[in-house]
Structure 1
């Protein structure tokens, strides 16, 4: 897809990967609407994005609610006059042992990371199909490919989103709407600020701009998926499939330190 002139809606676009994708899309000539829950943060983000001369509008809404999704999509269609690209980027995480995770935290992850993108995509599909060259981009996580301990619910919902995208891609094949799935690794974003897991535990953070550049490249190549993490992640994916017990042993050796490092990791 050539992004010049394309109309894009990016959820969670006020910071982190969503902001970086918005910035990269603007550089390619797209028109953007970003959404998030905090009006002040959105306003600041929009001003920064507009500094490059691109067209950016924003709407404060919670896409995990029916009203928030309706508000978001209505605003985007009014500002853009249609929709070519939907980026489901908004997400939340609460790490730690499952028995220490509250029901409210679990339900929030399910609603924000899985239910919201499914329902927003469903609502947007008629407009994406009408564009005749529509695209859905789902931002999942590397944990959806190789699940780490202390992220049980997060791994479940992100892998669910990945399989939702895979199924939908095949459902929409030949109908003018493509679906691409993105698997970021640990990324230097506000969402990761409460995690103390570093390279010694396998969490080497890369800049959000690097993820965004890879997303843009994937869009331009009509890729099915974008996987971050390089050769190390690729080896883990193979090992997880061919010898999962070996990976279990590796995580067992790290489990105590990892549990301590991520027990306060929360961004909901």
Structure 2
């Protein structure tokens, strides 16, 4: 029989993608604090080893498997590894993502395809791999980490926003289809968070200028949310089987405003796009945030990003 929507997470087995750093790492940690056993996965072996060591030092029961989730064989391997380690897969958190920042003129079709593979098709394949066992038990939880950008498309983030819109639509449709099987699906729409992701994002057009606005916005306390608080909210939403969780007051206000005044929202976004950097005379492509950061020598920007820079170190975003 399906379990009550108020059942806790103690003793459950979870798989969290993109869990070597940032929000994924914090979600994995919060799950273990609520009694879950967790399989970590990410592409970078060294990052993953550090993440596993960090959680084990806190007494967490975790395992890890390094893989690229865009590999079509990866979802099956991850589900099998989780079931082999823990006996089942009860909670699937599709968190892995990539952030590409820059004007449309500096983007290529490959950027959009990469975003869709990472944030739409890979989660879809993971859900399809996990569903048979969940259906057989009549119980399970699926969590999709979409974004405010999956409800309100911000300029200079189009590959990311397009993939997150698709992920949110898939997640909402899955909830409707899987409810009869006892499987809950939660769509999470975070706003800006202080995870240190500005160091891992990739920048095109004028990378230094793109990095400056993105890093500043992502680190401001009023605009951005503490990442540990965000992780607690995500896990609570999964635990209570909520259909949707919009994280941060700014994100909630943006979603509501877009819902009641879409035309005004579009005009404001168009104005914002005009204020952002152009492609430049010699646009660059796909420059890592750590590289773009070194091109900026600004004491003001350093002060604006201080909280997020600290988060990058705390949440395994920086190379060891």
Q: Does the pair score TM above 0.5?
A: yes
Based on CA coordinates, which of the two structures has the bigger radius of gyration?
2
Matches of 2:257 and 2:226 in 1, distance apart? 26
Partner of 1:93: 99
1:252 equivalent in alignment to 2:258: no
Out of 68-77 and 103-112, give the one that drifted further: 68-77
Matches of 2:259 and 2:287 in 1, distance apart? 28
Partner of 2:39: 33
Matches of 2:135 and 2:74 in 1, distance apart? 22
Judging changes above 3 Å, is the alpha-carbon distance between structure 1 residues 44 and 200 closer, same or farther for their aligned structure 2 residues?
Answer: closer
**Alignment partner for residue 106 of structure 1, among 92, 106, 112?**
112
Q: If the length of structure 1 is used for normalisation, what is the TM-score?
A: 0.90
Judging changes above 3 Å, is the alpha-carbon distance between structure 1 residues 108 and 200 closer, same or farther for their aligned structure 2 residues?
Answer: closer
Judging changes above 3 Å, is the alpha-carbon distance between structure 1 residues 46 and 87 closer, same or farther for their aligned structure 2 residues?
Answer: same
Partner of 1:119: 125
The residue matched to 2:179 in structure 1 has which SS?
coil
| Alignment coverage as a number of residue pairs | 265
CA shift for structure 1 position 161: 0.6
CA shift for structure 1 position 80: 1.4
CA shift for structure 1 position 149: 1.1
**Alignment partner for residue 206 of structure 1, among 222, 225, 228?**
225
Q: RMSD of the alignment, in Å?
A: 2.4
Matches of 2:194 and 2:286 in 1, distance apart? 17
Whether contact under 8 Å (2:190, 2:251) holds in the other structure is: no
Partner of 1:227: 246
1:33-182 pair list within 5 angstroms = 33-182=39-188
CA shift for structure 1 position 266: 5.9
CA shift for structure 1 position 92: 1.0
Which residues of structure 2 form unaligned runs of 5+? 1-6, 202-210, 279-284, 290-320
1:238 equivalent in alignment to 2:244: no
Out of 186-195 and 20-29, give the one that drifted further: 186-195
Q: Deviations over 1:195-242 (max 9, x none)?
A: 433349998232221111101221232211110121x33332232233
Matches of 2:103 and 2:219 in 1, distance apart? 17
Matches of 1:259 and 1:48 in 2, distance apart? 39
Whether contact under 8 Å (2:17, 2:93) holds in the other structure is: yes
CA shift for structure 1 position 75: 1.4
Whether contact under 8 Å (1:95, 1:265) holds in the other structure is: no
Whether contact under 8 Å (1:201, 1:258) holds in the other structure is: no
The residue matched to 1:215 in structure 2 has which SS?
helix
CA shift for structure 1 position 175: 0.8
Q: If the length of structure 2 is used for normalisation, what is the TM-score?
A: 0.77
CA shift for structure 1 position 246: 1.9
Matches of 1:201 and 1:17 in 2, distance apart? 14
Whether contact under 8 Å (2:79, 2:89) holds in the other structure is: no
Matches of 1:200 and 1:182 in 2, distance apart? 18
Judging changes above 3 Å, is the alpha-carbon distance between structure 1 residues 266 and 143 closer, same or farther for their aligned structure 2 residues?
Answer: farther
